[in-house]
Amino acid sequence: MDAVPEEQSRRAARPKADRRVTVPEFRARKARGEKIVMVTAYDYPSALLAERAGVDCVLVGDSLASVVQGHPTTIPATLEEMIYHVRMVRRGVSRALLMVDLPFGSYQVSTEDAMRSAIRLLKEGGADAVKLEGGAPMVATVRRLTEAGIPAMAHLGLTPQSIHLFGGHKVQGREAAAADQMLADAHALEAAGAFGMLLETIPAALAARITAELTIPTVGIGAGPDCDGQVQVWHDLLGLLPGKTFLHAKRYAELGAAAEAALRAYTDEVRQGAFPTKEQSL
C-alpha cells in the first residue's frame, strides 16, 4: 500500500511536460536545478514542432532577418515584422513561454519607445515576454518595462544588433575589465527586474561566474555548459541552410540536404511524366 504514495511523490518531483511555462516557472527552474531548453521559431509549423518536442521557451528572434529574410545581420528586422512572426508562432505555442526580441531601433531611443514597442508585441503579437540587448544603458528600460508588468529578459555578451560596433561575431568579455563590466551589468539588470539573462559568445568561465552570482536564470549560446539553460537557432540546429555554422551550434539533423533531395526527386518525376500517377489523380 505504501508504493502508491511513493510513486506519486516521485511523479510530483519530476518536471511536468504539460505544465505551462510562465515567467515565475521559468525562474523557478534555476532554483530547482532544472536546465532550461530554448529554441528560436519564426512561423506556425516550427512553433508547433518545438511545442510538441517539449522545449521550455520559444524565442521569436530578430535572427529572422538573417535566417528567414537572407540579410547579413539582424539589424533590418522591423517591429511590424516581429509582430507578424510572433502572431504565427503564438498559434503553435500553448505550453512553452513565448518570448520575442525587441528589434533594433524599437527601444534604443527612449524608454517610451521601448514601452510602446513591447506593448504592441504583447497585445498584437501575443508574446509572453520580450528580450532586449545591452548592459548598463538598458537598466532604466528594463526597470520601466517590469514596473509596467512586461517581463523583460536581458541579453549580454555578443549582442548582434551591435555587430558593427564589435566589427564582427567576436567573443566578448575576454579582457578582465570587460568581464568585470559585464558582471556589473548583469547584477544591475537583475536588480532592475530582468527575469532572465541571455549570455552570448563569452568565455565559459565568465558565464559560469555570472550564473553562480545571479538568482535569475541564465541561458547561453556559445557560453559554455554552466548556464542554467541553452538556446539554439532553428536553422542551425536542424541544418536547414548550407555552409558552415557557428562553433557554438550543433547540427542535430541535415534537413536542408534532405529537402533538396526531395525537391530534386519531385522535379525529375514531373519532367519524366512519372508524377502524378493514378494514385494522385481524382
Give catalytic residue positions: 200
Q: Identify which of 14, 101, 109, 91 has the alpha carbon closest to the alpha carbon of residue 45.
A: 91
Q: Tell me the Ramachandran region of residue 126: left when phi exceeds 0, alpha when psi lies from -120 to 50, beta otherwise.
A: left
> What are the start-end ranges of the E strands in the chain?
36-40, 57-60, 97-101, 129-133, 152-157, 196-200, 218-221, 229-232
Q: Are the C-beta atoms of 125 and 90 separated by less than 8 Å?
A: yes
User: Which grid cell is 97?
Assistant: 513561454
DSSP annotation of 228 reads S
DSSP annotation of 134 reads -
DSSP annotation of 95 reads S
Task: Identify the three-state secondary structure at position 81.
Answer: helix
d(CA 41, CA 204): 26
d(CA 96, CA 54): 8
User: Which grid cell is 148?
Assistant: 509596467
State which amino acid sits at residue 219.
V
Task: Identify the three-state secondary structure at position 54.
Answer: coil
DSSP sequence for 100-150: EEPPTTSSSS-HHHHHHHHHHHHHTT--SEEEEE-SGGGHHHHHHHHHTT-
